[in-house]
Amino acid sequence: MVLVTGATGTTGREVVKQLSAKGARVRAFVRDLKKAADLAGPAIELVQGDLSQPATLEAALRGVERVYLVSPAHPRQVELQGNVIEASQRAGVRHIVKLASMETRIDSPASFTRMHARTERQLEASGIAYTHLHPTMFMQSFLRYVPTIKSEGAIYAPLKDGRVGMVDARDVASVAVAALTGDGFYGRTCDITGPEALSFADAARIFSEVLGKPVRYVDVPPAAARKSLLEAGTEEWLVNDLLSLMEYFSTGQAAVVTSTIANAASIRPHTFRDFVRDYASMFGD
């Protein structure tokens, strides 16, 4: 039995679906059963709970051997994910696959990547076999630009001409599933990228070609990006973190390409063009 936390999230939902397709028994841990209704299936058990309430974790972990650990960015992230690790120790879980970020390190300028690093240290000291997943920027991050791509044919961001080995979240889920269903990933940190490093100008060009309409990248000052994120309701602490990561991406330090997806999951990673084609209905007029 595999417990998937964050089962309605970007990668969690895919992990549930892919595990089920492989015939694995899956328990999807969710806060809102209504949002997870589409995940229900013969081999998928939905369980309602909250990472801040250890009692719900105790019940969810009964009979579980492996855990996919992911949660939304939160100021209490270390505590919340720590609750999962501690409950897993008590339940006798054998293996935890944790999703973090390629920028995860103790001295990261972004608080949530520092928090990932702290949780990884806790997991390593827990006695439970672990696998750390370190993906770079998700291609699905471009979904936040749906409104401006549809209405203005524009992507506004402060990334200059920095190139990023951005990755499709579906492929990250495939690596997670490989780790959750095999024994060759214990103690490993998997750096996960897509097959090419692209700038946002490159991304705009591909949008234009696939959608059949002009899409341009507009580089904006960080202050303008901050204003836009705050107006969209993003909490200030997270805005600060996102801008720190954008500054990192703008320098080209994330222009890395790895073969992890092909090697670990034995699949061809999605290109950015594949991503745009698959999500074209969301970006179109």
- Whole-prediction pTM value? 0.95
* CATH superfamily ID and name for 2-138+168-193+256-268: NAD(P)-binding Rossmann-like Domain (3.40.50.720)
Residue keyed to tokens 């103690």: 187
Q: What is the pLDDT along the chain (285 residues), one digit of tens a residue?
A: 999 999 999 999 999 999 999 999 999 999 888 888 888 778 899 999 999 999 999 999 999 999 999 998 899 999 999 999 999 999 999 999 999 998 899 988 889 899 999 999 999 999 999 999 999 999 999 999 999 999 999 999 999 999 999 999 999 999 999 999 998 999 999 999 999 999 999 999 999 999 999 999 999 999 999 999 999 899 999 999 999 999 999 999 999 999 999 999 999 999 999 999 999 999 976
- Taking the C-alpha atoms of residue 274 and residue 172, their distance in angstroms, rounded to an integer, is 15
Report yes or no: 132 and 190 within 8 Å, Cβ to Cβ.
yes
- Taking the C-alpha atoms of residue 31 and residue 89, their distance in angstroms, rounded to an integer, is 22
- Cite the DSSP H helix spans in the chain: 12-21, 54-60, 77-91, 111-125, 146-152, 169-181, 200-211, 222-231, 236-250, 260, 272-278, 280-283
